[in-house]
Amino acid sequence: MDVKNNFKKLKYHFKRYGFIETIKKVFKRIFHIKENKMTNQEQYEIWMKNNLPLDIDFEFQEKAKFRNKPKISIVVPMYNTNENFFKELIECLINQTYSNWELLLADGSENKNENLKQYYESDERIKYKFLNCNEGIAENTNAALKMVTGDFVAFLDHDDLLSRDALYEVVNVINKNKEVDFIYTDEDKIDEDGERFEPYFKPEYSPETLECNNYITHLVVLKKDIIDKIGFLNSKFNGAQDFDYVLRASEEAKQIIHIPKILYHWRAHRNSTADTADAKPYAYKAGLEVIEDHLKRVGKSGIVEYGQDVPGIYKIKYEIFDNPKVSIVIPNKDHIDLLKTCINSIVKLTTYSNYEIIIIENNSEKNETFEYYKKIVKNKNIKVLNYNENTVLDSYGVQDVTCKNTNLEKEFNYSSLINFGVRNASGEYILQLNNDTKLLTGDWLETFIGYAQNKEIGAIGARLYFSDKSIQHAGIIVGIAGIAGNALVNLPYGKHAYFGREAATRNTSAVTGACLFCRKELYEEVGFMDEEKFKVAFNDVDFCLKLMEKGYRNLYNPYVELIHFESKTRGYEITEEQQERFNNEANNFKKKWKKFLDKGDPYYNKNFTRKSCNFDIITD
């Protein structure tokens, strides 16, 4: 037994994951307890073996002939820089497979470290300036920015590293996209011993995600034109100066491109924000102020708050204008126990007053259902529409009012039910809602409206729980199991997902129709929900993708929470006819959205497996 090596591993694990997790690991190892699922680190180690470039790849890159060979200026603020880390930084740049770069060093240390001279004088592409004083990370970076002579500017910390192919991949993107002026990449962390961990595989550019969380972080490369427009880093945001700069750059950029490759290694050591979330609490306060400034610049009005208990994730409560009306459309057939729970929670908790509830009655058979309808329509905000008879029910029975229905049929057709409700709704906003839900969030309509009044936004979804408060829906990932699936299903209540994705307002390709908020006009613009190809399944995903096709962005908002009493254990007892219909609708979806499926969900990194919905890394 290699005692020394095992002790080293134990020490590393203790340092990285803490006492409790280390004891769990040792206990499982002693008693040969197998974990059913690989850890993120285990997944990542397999991924690295399968995906890291080989020597032959580097040789190819070094021989590559680009038509456009921009100079990349790499700016690095220095302060009491560790000599070993600095040596590694210089070496990682000298070994880059793309050679047209310059390194601009601005040193704010109290005293010049003469030992570093041998490294920054080793290459004529390296320029070093001693500042004689430390003015903070923003101003030290600005001093380096003033030395820039390149076409694009990359930002690098004095103890971090770039992968050998980083600049090549950046220049490759520049050559393929003439308008690109903002590039960012995936990243991981590297400790003092050179061990890599916590890979951060990011989505394509996601404006609403970025407004609430600096998911972009590293590596950022900006065209010099952007730098000239936005100026220097703002020292009043020290600790979150990079977040401020990224937001300002995104406001001016013509084309933002994400490279789904890990090209940046963020050094994690004691007092580093890479290693511990509370090492610099002032940074999170600065981040809140950064978002407030951003909202002012882009003409939005809202209150910024800390987002639950995930550091670096924020919540925006947008101001609502003109008191618009919301129509809550709920299809129903009997199951009054469920509907009562749903209606009661809405009436009891909702803090927004201008709304109506439209129950779409569809082939109910029990007298108690209609007796309940007579009671609830006494509330002036509730009405019941009979889908199959084109009538409105009131407390006296049936009003002889013809409704707008284009599809009278006995067969269950969810899309048609929703379309019927939308056509007969008087609100400017529509909220599709299942009858088997229970509201937990009083200000849900204010939250929905705040985002939906932005004309660039399409559908908005909520955080839905199973009855045990584990997650049932946190957005939909298109491509899961070849079609689509809810994100983060079964994540236990209170447990955080990959980089807190369950707690972040974020762009997503689709959201479930069990709770879907949208401007009414958008239904008309995209042709409503598809009543022919998607009568029961995939109609919500299809609707959301139609919105994306029109240029709208869909959202998942974690601050609207409901319980969805859909069983996660019982499964679904379906007939052969129902199975055939499901398969037909699945095939319809695959055929209609083949190009989208082939390209991949832009908000779910290609390095995640499509076999699960929990941001697991590909290992095969």
In a domain, 295, yes or no: no
In a domain, 351, yes or no: yes
Note whether 24 and 143 are same-domain residues.
no
CA 368 remoteness from chain centre: 44
Domain count along the chain: 3
Q: Choose one of 271, 304, 334: the last residue of a domain.
A: 271
Give 558-608 pLDDT, tens digit per residue. Answer: 999 999 997 654 445 567 888 888 899 999 999 999 999 999 999 999 999
Note whether 571 and 459 are same-domain residues.
yes
Note whether 13 and 78 are same-domain residues.
no
Residue 399 confidence (pLDDT) = 52
In a domain, 261, yes or no: yes
pTM here is: 0.89
Distance CA 538, CA 255 (A): 31
Residue 16 confidence (pLDDT) = 44
Residue 1 confidence (pLDDT) = 43
Note whether 32 and 91 are same-domain residues.
no
Helix boundaries (H) for 152-206: 166-176
Total length of the chain: 620
Note whether 251 and 137 are same-domain residues.
yes
**Do 462 and 431 form a contact (C-beta atoms < 8 A)?**
no
| Residue 210 φ/ψ region, left for φ over 0, alpha for ψ in the -120 to 50 degree band, beta for the rest | alpha
Burial of 69 (0-12, 13-18, 19+ CB in 10 A): middle
| Residue with the two structure tokens 């102020």 | 289
Residue 571 confidence (pLDDT) = 47
In a domain, 539, yes or no: yes
According to DSSP, residue 85 is labeled: H
Distance CA 55, CA 171 (A): 19
For the chain, residues with pLDDT lower than 50 are: 1, 12, 15-17, 32-34, 271, 276-277, 395-396, 398, 400-402, 569-571
In a domain, 280, yes or no: no
Which range of residues forms the domain containing residue 150? 55-271
In a domain, 167, yes or no: yes
Strand partners, 318: 302
Note whether 19 and 77 are same-domain residues.
no
In a domain, 290, yes or no: no
* Residues ≥6 apart with Cβ < 8 Å to 454: 300
Residue 363 confidence (pLDDT) = 87
Note whether 392 and 431 are same-domain residues.
yes
Question: Which H or E run contains 532?
Answer: none
Note whether 31 and 59 are same-domain residues.
no
Residue 387 confidence (pLDDT) = 87
- Kindly report the CATH number assigned to the domain that includes residue 468: 3.90.550.10
Distance CA 130, CA 134 (A): 10
* Residues ≥6 apart with Cβ < 8 Å to 595: none
In a domain, 278, yes or no: no
Note whether 31 and 65 are same-domain residues.
no
- Spatial CA neighbour of 488 closest among 568, 593, 430, 412: 568
Note whether 207 and 336 are same-domain residues.
no
* Residues ≥6 apart with Cβ < 8 Å to 126: 90, 102, 103, 105, 120
What three-state secondary structure class fits 145? helix
DSSP 219-277: -EEEEHHHHHHH-S--GGGTTSHHHHHHHHHHHH-S-EEEEEEEEEEEE--TT-TTT-T
The CB density around residue 49, as the number of other CB atoms within 10 Å, is 9
What three-state secondary structure class fits 20? helix
Note whether 378 and 421 are same-domain residues.
yes
The CB density around residue 33, as the number of other CB atoms within 10 Å, is 9
Residue 388 confidence (pLDDT) = 80
Note whether 422 and 517 are same-domain residues.
yes
Q: Choose one of 237, 252, 271: the last residue of a domain.
A: 271
| Residue with the two structure tokens 């020490």 | 11
Residue 287 confidence (pLDDT) = 95
Residue 400 confidence (pLDDT) = 43
Question: Which H or E run contains 34?
Answer: none
> Which is it for strands 256-267 and 429-433: parallel, antiparallel or unpaired?
unpaired
